[in-house]
A and B are shown apart, each in its own frame.
Chain A
Amino acid sequence: MAKMNLNEEEAAVIRKQFGDYMIGNSTDESMFLSEEMTMHTDGHTDSHADSHADAIQIEQAQS
């Protein structure tokens, strides 16, 4: 099970970013995930392979 390891400061940054995003003040919308990462949820058999694909896409998006 993936650990988040969010400390309080990190959680505060996410809260601030999320708040800014939701009131339309975000200058950093790509924080809310790249387009490529949205394509995995396909129908009926959400699978381990799909989860693996997510991880790869996150790494690619970050590189």
Chain B
Amino acid sequence: MRIEGRRYRDEWLPNSYPSKKFSDRFVRVSRTGKAIFLTEAEDAQINEFFMDGDLFKRLENTGHLITRDNSATVFSNLATWLKGTYEGPGLHIVVTTRRCNLDCTYCHMYPQPMDALTTENDLDLATIPYIARFIMSSPRPSLTVEFQGGEPFLNFPAMVQMFDEINGLNASVGKKINFSVTSNLMVANDEQLAYCYENKIQVAYSLNGPQPLHDLVRITRSGAGSHAVVMRRVDHIRSKFPGLLGSYPLCVITEGNMAQLNQMADYYFDLGFKELGLIHLKNLGNARGRVEFDVRKFVPHYFDLLDHIYNKNKLSENCYTERIAKIALQKILYPSNPLFVDWRNPIGYFSNCVIYDYDGEILPVDEARSLRDVFSLGNVRNTTYDELIRKRSSFDTLNLSIRDRDSICRECTYNPYCGVSPVLNYAKTGKLAPEPHVSDECILVLAVFDWLFKKLIEEDPIPLLKMVPEYISAVARQLTNRAETQQSQKPVVGTVSDHSTVQTINS
């Protein structure tokens, strides 16, 4: 009964999540993260008795079907999509002190006053060799060591010793190790900054919008704002130590500033930044009971912001982007799930990221620092990397983030693109297992991908693709190179609109 040109259900296994309709198109995402647009008739055939041969070929090529011929490729694509999950932790966050000169209302820790006892709040130098050995036990060839506080520069000797210990251990190993420090920039002196500059220790910082918005949340214990000092420090550090500061500041969204996102985007744009580093408020530490954030209220404001940035990119040669949307687009465009530890399925807790608190306590993510009684994995003084990596329980929190555990998530179009946090869910609801449509991350993921796919299908994709500048600049550069090559080879100028003129970035 088989008809030539048709393919039948004994020739494939489905390998995608349920589709979602946008205008006349259906989006389907494969288990290896590939998105494809189908017509209604095409999408229906996935759940019919047979399929047209042409559609079968397309879905076989993209891995939305597993067939006899593509199974090896699909598994290779799966390994690529999950790359970074099983190579060992890459991001190691070392807390040098709990003390801080600020008392930000939204802080996800419990910062201690500047004059609090160092013996109770600072990383003891004797603990540092234990942490260094733990870090260097990760088999990953490229590591990032990030110093956090409090204000980490308040225990600068610990930063220096950690840097020396790591480099000492690495001398015979040869890993690529990046160092960074997250600071409010207010207490680091030029001698300390020069040390960072000379040793390529990148400095990340926060600037929470223009002065009235920044000073609502980033305050001293007496309630004074910090915007003016931070801006002076940014100017000073940029001029004296060019390239030392991160390429854009981080900015926390609360209910107090979510209605001003467009103005904030313009503020950063006018200051010369090319990316907006938004982070939504987490219900942790200082923030609990002091500052509010409701993701459902945030989403409409966020859509306005994305439209605002889209229009900026439409009208300008330049690229401007926002971090959440950029990572989401990378998930759609890239063969590997971006290694953003907080936004993966499974999440990167302990598999990608380890925290060493001020007393050597090991945690799976920095958000767990105010919830140590629930999430502690042990202490560097009495356990080792090898012991922890072998323990099934080390991955308990990560396991709860795996979205195929939940029947609703198994039916979600965006399952591979998701990233829910058991730590944040626990902080919000008291339950460890993230719940679909309750978890802030779930609500945001659904909203962001709905917005992106609608835009990609219904409008010009170029302004949106410019939100991944690395992608579009590489393609643009290649097109220019090829046009120039053609021009030099031919007496008559050819056209770049010929599809064949664009080969591969890798070629």
Contact = CB atoms under 8 A, between A and B. Distances in A.
A49 B36 contact: no
Given A28-B504, A42-B91, A43-B146, A14 B204 contact: no
Interface in A39-60: 39-51, 54-55, 58
Contacts of A2: 274, 318-319, 469, 473
B474 interface: yes
A22 to B, nearest CB: 5
Given A3-B318, A22-B37, A43-B340, A61 B58 contact: no
Contacts of B366: 44
The prevalent SS among residues of A at the interface is helix
Nearest to B142: A39
Contacts of B35: 22
Given A2-B469, A25-B58, A44-B146, A15 B342 contact: no
A15 B180 CA distance: 38
Contacts of A11: 462
A10 B178 contact: no
A35 B336 contact: yes
Interface size class of A (residues with CB under 8 A): 35 or more
Contacts of A16: 499
Interface residues of B, number: 81
Contacts of B333: 32-33
A33 B90 CA distance: 22
A62 B499 contact: no
Contacts of B505: 30-31, 33-34, 58, 61-62
Contacts of B36: 22-24
B83 A38 contact: yes
Contact of A4 (B144, B319, B339): B319
Given A4-B473, A38-B336, A13 B61 contact: no
Interface string B268-289: 0000101101000000000000
A48 B245 contact: yes
B91 A43 contact: yes
A27 to B, nearest CB: 9
B113 to A, nearest CB: 24
B108 to A, nearest CB: 11
Contact of B353 (A6, A41, A43): A43
A3 B318 CA distance: 5
Contacts of A1: 272, 274, 318-319
Nearest to A25: B58
B259 interface: no
Nearest to B204: A45
B476 A48 contact: no
B338 interface: yes
A2 B223 CA distance: 39
A3 to B, nearest CB: 5
Nearest to B178: A49
B168 to A, nearest CB: 22
Contacts of B495: 9
Contacts of B342: 43
Contacts of B496: 9-10, 13
Contacts of A55: 470
B413 interface: no
A48 B502 CA distance: 30
Given A33-B335, A42-B144, A62-B505, A22 B473 contact: no
A3 B317 CA distance: 6
Contact of A22 (B338, B348, B456): B456
A46 B273 CA distance: 13
A50 B211 CA distance: 28
A42 B339 contact: yes
Q: Tell which of B59, B62, B182, B245 has the most Cβ of chain A within 10 Å.
A: B62
Contacts of B178: 47, 49
B213 interface: no
A15 B460 contact: yes
Contacts of B501: 13
30 contacts: A1-B274, A4-B472, A6-B317, A9-B495, A11-B462, A12-B497, A13-B496, A14-B461, A14-B462, A14-B465, A14-B472, A24-B58, A31-B504, A33-B471, A38-B335, A39-B336, A41-B338, A41-B339, A42-B339, A43-B352, A44-B93, A44-B366, A45-B146, A45-B202, A45-B246, A46-B248, A48-B202, A48-B245, A50-B247, A58-B470
Given A3-B318, A38-B330, A48-B243, 14 more contacts: A4-B472, A9-B496, A18-B465, A22-B35, A29-B335, A33-B333, A38-B335, A42-B91, A44-B204, A45-B180, A46-B204, A47-B246, A49-B200, A61-B474
Interface of A: 1-6, 9-18, 22-25, 28-35, 37-51, 54-55, 58, 61-62
Interface of B: 35-38, 58-59, 61-62, 64, 80, 83-84, 90-91, 93, 144, 146, 178, 180, 182, 200, 202, 204, 243, 245-248, 272, 274-275, 277, 317-319, 323, 327, 330, 333-342, 348, 352-353, 366, 456, 460-462, 465-466, 469-480, 495-497, 499, 501-507
Counting from the closest, the 4 A-B pairs by CB-CB distance are A38-B336, A24-B58, A45-B204, A30-B504
